[in-house]
């Protein structure tokens, strides 16, 4: 089985990435064999299309509601076919895998399309392409076109497998608003050495960039009646933080986990700003407060906390409820905190609640009621013994986020990386206003916090008669209440995207659908049961209308001899 051509074609238009992977395979043997198509794609992406053509016959992937697809499939499976085409492989990736039997001397072409909105983190966007052909490929290329009408601030490529020879196969061309990156290694350049037929291409190919930001009210872009509004103000004063670290030291944290947690906490302590206030609560079946109140992050206090961290040992049960309520209590009774400051609780745990209150539903209700919208709760789940669903619900119902920390050698770096993302809050209570009667299907337009280096994105549908789109942004900064205003000329904005070479159809409409689905699914996690059903129904309609494989849909992969397989999108919560 020879892969004679593998092309990764990626167009990024205003942060929205559309990637098509095409693999052409020939069976050189004189008997039929299995041809396999295996692609790793970002978890945040949605597959939008898949097909395979065998000797000119096309077998499409058909996207259906998950339950309906499952029913059809169950009847097919009873005739002995295999399942499970997509699985999570890595903290950032999931793998799509299809095999098909092809006759001697036959050819098959696999084509997979996926889309994602690149998320700005720590001041940059990252486009991740996983390269793993497992053999030398005669025609191999990665072709990336980027068009950012705001202008490209910087652009870099990075790869885990580059050698001097391979660098010669990489070209970058860039002007004010466009960039083209082409990586096209010859067979010789792909080889590990001249004797062996082994490939060097195995790892990550990454493009990182950021855009220029002139307008204080952000940047509005419009195509075919849909708009997207990007807002990421620069150089704002940072709010002082009041942060309580709630650290699990139960028996299951023993060994490498507690050591990595200690490493990360020592580094995070060094990153606290002088105007921040902080404290620690550690818990197993007992909840221990390091001090009875928050302390300013002076050199002395930080050193004293570091000494405590060094002594942490792991044993006993897990009282998550008691620990979180103690943290909220400490923030409630805190005195002398800066008037304009952001209060947050960061929970790190690796297991289920085993002491104190054990019913996760009751814990969620207790914590939500205690926090009552006043503080942000971030939940970090260490490893795979945690109930990620529970942590996600806890965090999302209290204005924070959940993140899984993978039990790898770099777990301490993952913890630090997360802290850096939330370390610099610069705006609070951000409201993005648009003319109500002229916009429909508006995505989330109220945000609790904005962190430096990230970006707020709002999208919606403009009614036909609108010539000017006025926007108003209200927010609190550390020093004052801010209002930004701007008016966009709809016709002028539409002109920007007339250069069709960079556009894949109605890309802002697809961006709007993608963002809407992501937000509806997120809201559903922390919603009450009736609301949950309504939110999921909306997300399902959009998934089917725009043919996205989301956690609510399945792709039925059709094959020769009336065979079918199902591709379901896995979620972090399993």
The domain locations on the chain are 2-212, 241-423, 430-494+502-525
Give the pLDDT score at 215: 74
Prediction pTM value: 0.93
Indicate the SS3 state at residue 72. Answer: helix
Backbone torsions φ then ψ of 103, nearest 5 degrees: -70, 165
Residue 16 to residues 117, 148, 279, Cα–Cα distance (Å): 4, 10, 40
Q: Quote the CA–CA distance of 351 and 209 in Å, as a whole number.
A: 37
Q: How many Cβ atoms are within 10 Å of 63's Cβ, its own excluded?
A: 22
CA angle 475, 477, 481 (to 5 degrees): 55
What contacts 512, CB < 8 A, 6 or more positions away? 226, 228, 441, 443, 459, 460, 461
Q: Is 25 exposed, middle or buried (0-12, 13-18, 19+ CB in 10 A)?
A: buried
What confidence score (pLDDT) does residue 72 get?
73
Q: Three-class SS of residue 193?
A: coil
DSSP bridge pairs for 568: 554
CA atoms within a 13 Å half-sphere pointing along the CA-CB vector of 227: 31
Range 2-212 has CATH code 1.10.287 = no
What was the pLDDT predicted at 565? 83
| Chain mean position to CA 415 | 16
Element spanning 534, H or E: helix 529-545
Identify whether the C-beta of residue 528 lies closer than 8 Å to the C-beta of residue 397. Answer: no
Query: Mean pLDDT in runs of 10 for the chain (574 residues)?
Result: 96 95 95 92 95 92 88 62 68 90 93 97 96 95 95 96 93 95 96 88 96 90 93 94 96 94 95 96 96 95 96 95 97 90 96 93 96 95 92 93 91 94 95 94 96 97 90 95 94 80 75 97 91 95 96 89 83 78
Give the per-residue pLDDT at 82: 45
pLDDT at 157: 96
CA dist 36 and 23 (Å) reads 10
pLDDT at res. 142: 98
Nearest C-alpha neighbor of 317 from the set 282, 351, 339, 285: 285
E strands of 409-510, at which residues?
Answer: 425-433, 439-440, 446-451, 456-462, 468-476, 481-489
At the topology level, CATH places domain 241-423 in Rossmann fold (3.40.50)
Can you give the pLDDT at residue 465? 81
Question: Do residues 7 and 139 make contact, with C-beta atoms less than 8 angstroms apart?
Answer: yes
Are 488 and 233 in contact by the 8 Å Cβ rule? The answer is: no
Question: Rounded to an integer, what distance in angstroms lies between the CA atom of residue 565 and that of residue 256?
Answer: 40
């Amino acid at each position: 089985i020879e892969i004679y051509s593998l092309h990764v074609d990626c167009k990024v238009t205003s942060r929205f990435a559309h990637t098509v992977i095409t693999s052409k395979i020939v069976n050189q043997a004189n008997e039929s064999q299995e041809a396999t198509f295996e692609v790793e794609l970002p978890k945040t992406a949605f597959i939008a299309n898949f097909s395979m053509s065998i000797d000119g016959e096309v077998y499409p992937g058909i996207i259906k509601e998950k339950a309906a697809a499952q029913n059809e499939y169950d009847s097919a499976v009873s005739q002995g076919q295999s399942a499970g085409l997509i699985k999570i492989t890595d903290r950032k990736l999931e793998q799509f895998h299809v095999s098909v039997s092809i006759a001697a001397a036959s050819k098959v072409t696999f084509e997979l399309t996926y889309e994602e909105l690149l998320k700005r983190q720590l001041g940059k966007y990252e486009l991740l392409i996983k390269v793993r052909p497992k053999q030398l490929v005669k025609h191999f290329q990665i072709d990336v076109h980027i068009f950012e009408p705001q202008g490209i601030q910087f652009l870099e490529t990075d790869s885990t497998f580059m050698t001097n020879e391979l660098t010669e196969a990489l070209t970058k061309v860039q002007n004010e608003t466009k960039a083209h990156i082409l990586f096209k290694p010859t067979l010789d350049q792909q080889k590990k050495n001249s004797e062996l037929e082994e490939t060097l291409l195995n790892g990550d190919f990454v493009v990182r960039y950021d855009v220029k930001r002139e307008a204080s009210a952000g940047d509005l872009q419009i195509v075919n009646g849909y708009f997207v509004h990007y807002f990421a103000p620069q150089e704002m004063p940072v709010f002082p933080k009041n942060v309580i670290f709630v650290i699990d030291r139960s028996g299951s944290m023993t060994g490498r986990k507690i050591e990595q947690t200690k490493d990360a906490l020592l580094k995070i302590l060094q990153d606290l700003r002088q105007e921040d206030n902080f404290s620690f609560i550690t818990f197993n079946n007992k909840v221990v407060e390091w001090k009875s109140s928050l302390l300013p992050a002076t050199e002395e206090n930080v050193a004293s906390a570091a000494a405590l961290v060094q002594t942490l040992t792991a044993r006993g049960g897990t009282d998550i409820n008691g620990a979180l309520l103690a943290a909220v209590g400490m923030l409630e009774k805190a005195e002398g905190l800066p008037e304009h400051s952001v209060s947050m609780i960061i929970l790190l745990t690796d297991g289920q609640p085993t002491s104190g209150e054990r019913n996760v539903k009751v814990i969620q209700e207790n914590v939500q009621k205690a926090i009552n919208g006043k503080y942000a709760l971030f939940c970090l789940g260490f490893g795979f013994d945690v109930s990620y669903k529970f942590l996600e619900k806890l965090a999302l119902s209290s204005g924070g986020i959940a993140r899984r920390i993978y039990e790898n050698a770099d777990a301490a770096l993952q913890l630090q990386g997360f802290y850096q993302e939330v370390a610099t809050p610069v705006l609070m209570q951000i409201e993005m206003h648009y003319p109500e009667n002229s916009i429909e299907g508006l995505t989330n337009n109220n945000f609790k916090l904005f962190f430096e280096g990230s970006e707020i994105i709002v999208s919606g549908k403009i009614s036909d008669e609108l010539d000017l789109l006025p926007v108003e942004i209200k927010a609190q900064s550390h020093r004052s209440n801010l209002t930004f205003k701007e008016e966009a000329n709809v016709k002028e904005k539409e002109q920007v995207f007339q250069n069709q070479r960079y556009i894949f159809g109605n890309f802002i409409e697809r961006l709007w659908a993608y963002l809407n689905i992501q937000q509806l699914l997120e809201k559903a996690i922390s919603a009450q049961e009736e609301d949950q059903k309504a939110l999921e129904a909306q997300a399902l309609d959009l998934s089917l209308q725009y043919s996205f494989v989301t956690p609510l849909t399945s792709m039925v992969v059709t094959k020769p001899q009336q065979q079918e397989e199902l591709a379901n999108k896995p979620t972090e919560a399993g």
